[in-house]
Amino acid sequence: MDILKWLKQPEKEFPPHKELGHFNFGVCGQFIYEKSGLSQSTISNYLSQLQNVGLITPTRIGKWTYFQRNEENINAYLKEISRKL
């Protein structure tokens, strides 16, 4: 939940990656790891799970991977939850 919340307004939660200077491709995975205070393997696992269910989208640029929310899938998921609950 924290990762999805942070990615909602990345400019308020993270500095832009110095190689890009913007958030057009999302947030560098390294920044997510550093903010979380958790181990890199734990964050990698969380990011992989969020990606596998379609809630985030990765973009690889050079050696860095950037993550952003998949708003369409998040909204569909929320609608389905509210419909079933």
Task: Sketch out the chain's domains with CATH numbers.
Answer: 3-84 (1.10.10.10)
6 and 35 in contact (C-beta within 8 Å)?
yes
- Residue 57, pLDDT > 90, answer yes
pLDDT of residue 21 exceeding 90: no
From the centroid of its chain, how far is CA 44?
Answer: 11
At residue 18, does pLDDT exceed 90?
no
Closest to 14 (Cα-Cα) out of 31, 34, 30, 37: 31
Question: pLDDT band at 19, cuts 50/70/90?
Answer: confident
Mean pLDDT over each residue of the chain, to the nearest integer: 95
d(CA 20, CA 75): 28
